[in-house]
Chains A and B, each alone.
Chain A
Amino acid sequence: MRKAVLIFIALTLIIEITACAQQKVAQYNLSEKDWNVVLEEAKGTTVNFYGYGGDQKTNNWIDTYLSNELKEKYDITINRVGMNIDEILNKLLNEKQLNVNNGNIDVVWINGENFFTAKENDLLFGPFTHKLPNFNQYIDKNSVEVNYDFGFPVEGYEAPFGKSQFVMIYDSEKVKNIPVNHKELLQFVKNNPGKFTYPAPPDFTGSAFIRNIIYDIVGYEQFMDMEADEQIVREAIQPAIDYFVELKPYLWKEGNTYPSESGLLDNMYSDNEVVMTMSYNPNHVSSKIETGEFNETSRSFVFDKGSIGNTHFLAIPYNSENKSGALAVIDYILSVEAQASKYVPKTWGDLPVLDNSKLNHEEKALFDNINIGKGTISQDVLLNNRLPEMPADLVPIIEKIWMENVPKKGE
């Protein structure tokens, strides 16, 4: 028996190291296909939509509005699978390792460093955006935000889905003078010791807060083409790291520990354990007021040097079995109706990606008539104070430097 087990282990080792013969993924020749052919092929199929599933409103928008419209227009069934992006990437990576050529992910909601990783490792299908009629009609193809995702060239491998922007949230009853830059924030925290904190990276929101403070202190321009070298990044952000260390003793629990997730910080804000929270979704505050989790007097603000914004995208995995269906779905999401429906705070409240100058009068009115809800900053103010995200490969380096220098200092 023992021998059998040993032989078995040895065999699996050999198989895994030599990794069975490479098979080719079924060819899908997009350039030769007419758009009508794509729609024809998409008809009657099911499209598996993978992405973050932790937000009730987003899920609801996909499950009701998007599903119904697609069913009616193209006879496509949407099957939404809520899964965190790191798990999706791992799944794709495992499929690539094991040469699975009929993957069941058709559309993946992705951006930033995850897109970078996926594209670097050939996990995505493309380029495909030039084929989408709505992309050609409504999207500003010269916009930096369309062509670059966290500083990384998109090259047609993903289509914009929506925009978000980092905002700080406070209770206007308790906070009278809003700290609009890092110096005022430090003073504010010193005056209210123990009443402020931020989520620890790798939490997405906490990581964005750290980057926003870095921008506020040392400016954003130098990061746009910075080399992903720990030494270079460390030197560039040193003033900001010093700032975080200075801030630390006045934070919640003296900055010895941080909420591990932004949801936890929201809870602490609701419970009055802290007086501010933050979000990468500018509509977060109005939707939380609506559900009764935040006080009616909650408001949001951005720093006067601007706040970080990013675009989230939709991509198609290299081994999707229904690429035509995926293309049809992504194209529909770029339509005026879909983008407007998504912008309504009651349904989701995600900022639209369309180029305003390409919309006609009626289409514009559609967006202008949307009531953006309590506490939310208007689209104009947000867009005027919008700073680009830094290259994706700098993000983990910054998180690592923060981890090594901030929570441990003074032990």
Chain B
Amino acid sequence: MKNKYKPYVMLIPVMIVILGIFINGLIMAFIQSLGYFKAIGLTEITFKYYKEVLTSQGFLSSLGFSVYIATISSVIAVVLGVILAYSILRSTHRKGIEEAVYKIPIFVPHIVAALLAYNILAQSGVVPRVLYSIGIIKDQSQFPSLLYDKNGIGIIIAYIWKGIPFVAMVVYTILSNINNKLSQVALNLGANNRQVFFYILLPFIMPSIFSSFIIIFAFSFGAYELPFLLGPTSPKALPVKAYVEYTNSNLANRPYAMVINMILTIVSLILVWLYNKSFELISKYNR
């Protein structure tokens, strides 16, 4: 009986922080999203804010923009990340440098990534300047507009740059621990490298591919700084929209911000659930 409660007792310090601050904040946000905000005199509980937000054109285009950015950047990052991990695994010379270098973007904060993207890709950035000086473009406006654009290419590139190493790191750890003999047996029996990758390695790494996809998807869906710094005026990504609503000087607007926050939270919870499922899959494979 004692042993049964021991883990919970040991978890108390961290749970106080999580429940006390995080859950508390969530509950407050939820209450305010229902239009209950006593400090400014709103006391009627209503779903009208949800209704208004969910039917507004501005919200729907923001939601679409966020989903679009998160999906494209995560898919590309996962594909390239797996290719990177596989090529590091296959390379024959000493791996020390490669293993260290590819992880660098993981340590770089997103805000710095935004600055890098701005310095390199803006129409007054490094790339257009180089192209200009070697005569490929004649004016800075000839360089395609990658930042502040509705297609969000600048944001996507920055997320891919941050995502690839993360996926590669997760996948490479699994890849390098797979028993080498399995591949050798297959090769011995006449399989080519492609078949070895698709029929032997891929099934092993599939669950970790899936879980790393969910992590970077959830991040790029819910993060604020990159779309704020590199995104267009309209549509705004969902977190940016929530922030703009939140900082609106008219406090009666607060419930709208909280509705958007609740929707972001719900999407994240669904992703966490999927993440858990993928872990069940992993443990099934390991059995």
Which residues of A does B touch, CB under 8 Å? Answer: 1, 5, 8-9, 12-13, 16-17, 19, 86, 89, 93, 96-97, 112-114, 116-117, 121, 194, 200, 202, 253, 256-260, 268, 271-273, 392-393, 395-396, 403-404, 407-408
Contacts and interface: CB of A to CB of B under 8 A. Distances in A.
B23 interface: yes
Given A16-B31, A273-B140, A121 B40 contact: yes
B176 interface: no
Centre residue among B39, B124, B246 by max chain A CB count within 10 A: B39
Given A13-B27, A17-B31, A260-B228, A253 B145 contact: yes
A366 to B, nearest CB: 36
A121 B251 contact: yes
Nearest to B61: A408
Contact of B39 (A97, A260, A273, A407): A97
Contacts of A89: 249
A256 B150 CA distance: 8
Interface string B234-269: 100000000010111111010000000000000000
Nearest to B38: A19
B120 interface: no
Given A17-B31, A200-B233, A253-B149, 12 more contacts: A13-B31, A16-B31, A86-B247, A93-B251, A116-B249, A121-B39, A202-B247, A257-B149, A257-B150, A257-B234, A396-B250, A396-B253
Given A97-B39, A258-B233, A1 B248 contact: no
B219 interface: no
6 contacts: A12-B24, A97-B39, A253-B145, A256-B233, A260-B233, A272-B124
A257 B250 contact: no
B201 to A, nearest CB: 39
Interface string B30-58: 01000010111000000000000000001
A97 B38 contact: yes
Contacts of A112: 249
Nearest to A270: B124
Given A202-B244, A257-B149, A273-B124, A407 B233 contact: yes
B204 interface: no
Nearest to A86: B247
Centre residue among A89, A253, A396 by max chain B CB count within 10 A: A253
B282 to A, nearest CB: 24
A89 B246 CA distance: 11
B19 interface: yes
A117 B38 contact: no
B232 interface: yes
B148 interface: yes
B123 interface: yes
A16 B28 contact: yes
Nearest to B36: A17
Contacts of B286: none
Contact of B19 (A8, A202, A260): A8
Interface string B1-37: 0000000100000000001000110011001000010
Nearest to A393: B250
Nearest to A259: B148
B177 interface: no
A260 B224 CA distance: 13
Contacts of B145: 253
Nearest to B228: A260
B23 A12 contact: yes
Contact of B148 (A113, A257, A272): A257
A256 B124 contact: no
B150 A396 contact: no
Nearest to A206: B233
Given A12-B23, A257-B232, A114 B149 contact: no
Contact of A268 (B58, B124, B229, B250): B124
Nearest to A268: B124
Contacts of B232: 256-257, 407
Centre residue among A114, A271, A272 by max chain B CB count within 10 A: A271
A275 B77 CA distance: 38
B249 A12 contact: no
Nearest to B5: A1
Given A13-B27, A86-B249, A121-B251, A96 B124 contact: no
A251 to B, nearest CB: 11
A240 B234 CA distance: 20
B250 A117 contact: yes
Nearest to A94: B39
B251 A202 contact: no
A403 B234 contact: yes
Interface in B184-241: 228-229, 231-234
A202 B234 CA distance: 13
B133 interface: no
Given A96-B39, A257-B150, A271 B247 contact: no
Contacts of B140: 273
B141 interface: yes
Contacts of A403: 58, 234
A93 B39 contact: yes
Contacts of B40: 93, 121
A162 B117 CA distance: 38
Centre residue among A13, A112, A392 by max chain B CB count within 10 A: A13
A193 B69 CA distance: 30
Contacts of B231: 260
Nearest to A228: B250
Contacts of A392: 249
Contacts of B149: 253, 256-257
B249 A117 contact: yes
A273 B98 CA distance: 39
A263 B170 CA distance: 39
B125 to A, nearest CB: 9
A98 B250 CA distance: 20
A256 B234 CA distance: 8
